[in-house]
Amino acid sequence: MSAHRKGESDLLYRDGRWFLIATCDLPDPRIKNPDAFLGVDLGIVNIATTSDGARHSGKALNAVRHRHRELRRRLQAKRTKSAKRLLKQRRRKEARFAANTNHVIAKQIVTEAERTGQGIALEDLQGIRDRVRLRKPQRVTLHSWSFHQLGAFVGYKAARAGIAVIHVDPAFASQQCSSCGHVDRNNRLDQACFSCTSCGFAEHADVNAARNIAARGQTGWAVSHAA
Ligand SMILES: [Zn+2]
């Protein structure tokens, strides 16, 4: 058991008894060992893109956020109680809409993985804020909590279906050619187009990134599950 211990433990005193709260990461015996991985690339234009080519658009969510931002700008100038209340309502509405969108996308991703017998490779979101800071025009629409939420939804839906999930380092996934491995920022022509300067491989930029995530998931799984 101690081999699976993670992070800190808490000692808790309740109703005259002591409890030790520890987090354990146990390998679930119901999780199937996958032959391949479905890679998921996260973004703003497309919230999620899979290595199989499915793109989940962020258009509706971005429109809601844009409307909310405009309203906030107008209401914040007022500073009245009713303006504050309205702002709070809108913020909750936006969060509900984002959560609902994430549920739908997570379900589609897990269904796709289940249908094709694949595990799911997700980006490790540790550095997402740094990574997205580079994309200036999109900065305002970034909500990193929303990506964490999507990851969490995929995680528990996958666990319920017995599907393996692995988190991988997404560094340079968008600049790397998923066909030959060549890394070059010039491989990325614009937001949507990837074209390798070395081998000529061309693909939708998000799909190419998702294929790299998938390959890293495959490698990571093989390394961590080698007996
Ligand atoms: Zn290439």
Q: What is the pLDDT of residue 19?
A: 78
Write out the residues surrounding ion ligand 1, Cβ under 5 A.
177, 179-180, 182, 196, 198-199, 201
Q: The tokens 């897990």 sit on which residue?
A: 110
Cα(114) to ligand 1 centroid in Å equals 30
pLDDT at position 172 is 93
15 burial via Cβ count (<10 Å: 0-12, 13-18, 19+): exposed
The confidence score (pLDDT) of residue 65 equals 85
Ligand 1: centre distance to CA 201 (Å): 5
What's the gap in Å between 34 CA and the centre of ligand 1? 26
| pTM metric for this prediction | 0.80
Tokens for 144, please give them.
């990193």
Distance 180 CA to ligand 1 centre (A): 4
Q: How far is the CA of 197 from the centre of ligand 1 (A)?
A: 7
> Which residues of the chain fall short of a pLDDT of 50?
1, 133-134, 136-140
Residues 93/44, Cβ–Cβ less than 8 Å: no
- How far apart are the CA of 202 and the centre of ligand 1, in A? 8
First and final C-alpha spacing in the chain: 18
Tell me the helix, strand and coil percentages in the chain, rounded to 5. 50, 20, 30
Domain residues of the chain, as ranges? 2-26+36-224
pLDDT at 139: 46
Helices (H), the chain: 59-78, 81-116, 128-133, 144-160, 205-224
